[in-house]
Amino acid sequence: MATFQEAISSAVKAQAARNGLKNKDIAESMGISRDALWRRLSNRLTWNSEDFEKLARAIGLDSSWQLMDLAREEQHLAA
């Protein structure tokens, strides 16, 4: 089973692909560097709760709760 961190990263990648977003777009929207985003998406740096609301909005979701739901779905799919 995927860890929660891995599930968040998978959810972000899937949602970004659905919306045609590039890492550059997400990073700019979150106010972080592309490298920082890449490190989080590759699970080299952990996501933290302060990231979630910005991240959700950056990938076209209404709230961090939607992001959590997507991550749970990703965890289930990876099981």
Delineate the domains of the chain, giving CATH numbers in brackets: 4-78 (1.10.260.40)
Please tell me the pTM assigned to this model.
Answer: 0.90
pLDDT at 74 over 90: no
Give the mean pLDDT of 51-74: 94
Give residues with Cβ within 8 angstroms of 33, minimum separation 6: 27
Q: How confident is the model at residue 75 (pLDDT cuts 50, 70, 90)?
A: confident
